[in-house]
């Protein structure tokens, strides 16, 4: 299986050489660039925006690492500065002792007393020489520490400047990514609107239907307005005239009907009285 795969790779490399000769490398490179550009052009803008967002987010670990280095440097500088101050104070005390012992030796006194102990001038000179050598070594060490402190302080300031630049650049990138995202959303909104194609015929039919309905409603409103002007008026057409002796005619008619009906005189009087009332 592996032999077949290697054979396929060999043929894939051999065919361009056989076809294009010495220019095969140039053709392959150009073809690769064309394929790369074609693939890149097919990548959706939404994917590219998200990819850039991820790239900006991936800057955060580097920034945190820089912060960690700066914190360590600050602690180291504080400790070294404390050591330098302590050594400087110790050297100041040793310097006073050296000057005092030098004065005692130069005084020519044969016996010199320190802390209730007596020493000869020669013993003090030997001790003074030993102390002086130690003092010089300690002072050189102190100077080296001061140089180290200066170098560390310089490196700390450089890293702090680098961190500030990284934070500023990250913020600028975040703003640019936000602008890209907003621009993409605006283009998508415009594209959505442009893709909405209205049917002109249906739109015209809808407008005509609205106009027709408005006309019908206008006519109805006009009819109601005209009819309302003649409501509750006394009709003047086909009106029968009222007889002048209408009341006498009604009484006479009802009186004849009462005489024709069977009944007592009392009933007749009740009917007539009711009518009169």
Q: Report the alpha-carbon distance of residue 114 to residue 19 in Å, rounded.
A: 101
Q: How far is CA 59 from CA 54, 156, 159, 170, 174, in A?
A: 9, 21, 16, 7, 11
Question: What token pair was written down for 172?
Answer: 């600028």
Of 43, 42, 14, which Cα lies nearest the Cα of 28?
A: 14
Query: Residues 71-81: pLDDT tens digits?
Result: 999 999 999 99
> What global pTM score does this model have?
0.49
Measured CA to CA, the distance from residue 128 to residue 95 in angstroms comes to 11
- For 146-186, what is each residue's pLDDT tens digit? 999 999 999 999 999 999 998 998 888 888 888 888 888 88
Residues 6+ apart with CB under 8 A from 255: 272
Mean pLDDT of the chain: 77
Residue 25 pLDDT grade (very low, low, confident, very high; cuts 50, 70, 90):
low
Q: Cα–Cα distance between 55 and 7 in angstroms, integer?
A: 39
* Closest by CA position to 250, among listed 272, 268, 269: 272
**Of the listed ranges 77-86, 146-155, 208-217, 231-240, the one predicted with least confidence:** 231-240
State residue 277's pLDDT score.
47
Average pLDDT over residues 216-220: 82
What is the reported pLDDT for 271? Answer: 46
């Amino acid at each position: 299986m592996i032999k077949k795969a290697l054979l396929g790779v060999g043929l894939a490399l051999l065919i361009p050489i056989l076809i294009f000769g010495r220019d095969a490398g140039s053709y392959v490179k150009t073809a690769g660039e064309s394929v790369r550009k074609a693939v890149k052009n097919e990548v959706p803008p939404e994917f590219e925006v998200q990819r850039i967002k991820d790239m900006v987010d991936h800057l955060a670990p580097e920034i945190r690492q820089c912060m960690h280095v700066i914190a360590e440097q600050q602690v180291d500088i504080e400790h070294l500065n404390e050591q330098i101050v302590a050594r400087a104070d110790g050297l100041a005390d040793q310097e006073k002792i050296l000057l005092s012992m030098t004065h005692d030796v130069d005084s020519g006194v044969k016996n010199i007393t320190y802390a209730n102990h007596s020493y000869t001038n020669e013993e003090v000179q030997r001790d003074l020489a030993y102390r002086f050598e130690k003092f010089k070594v300690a002072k050189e060490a102190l100077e080296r520490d001061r140089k180290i402190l200066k170098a560390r302080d310089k490196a700390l300031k450089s890293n702090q400047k680098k961190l500030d630049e990284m934070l500023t650049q990250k913020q600028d990138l975040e703003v640019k990514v936000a602008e890209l995202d907003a621009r993409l959303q605006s283009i998508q909104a415009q594209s959505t609107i442009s893709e909405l194609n209205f049917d002109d015929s249906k739109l015209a039919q809808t407008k005509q239907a609205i106009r027709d309905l408005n006309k019908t409603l206008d006519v109805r409103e006009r009819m109601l307005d005209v009819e309302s002007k003649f409501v509750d008026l006394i009709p003047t057409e086909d009106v029968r005239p009222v007889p002048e002796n209408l009341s006498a005619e009604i009484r006479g008619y009802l009186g004849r009907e009462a005489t024709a009906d069977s009944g007592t005189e009392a009933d007749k009087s009740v009917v007539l009285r009711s009518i009169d009332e």
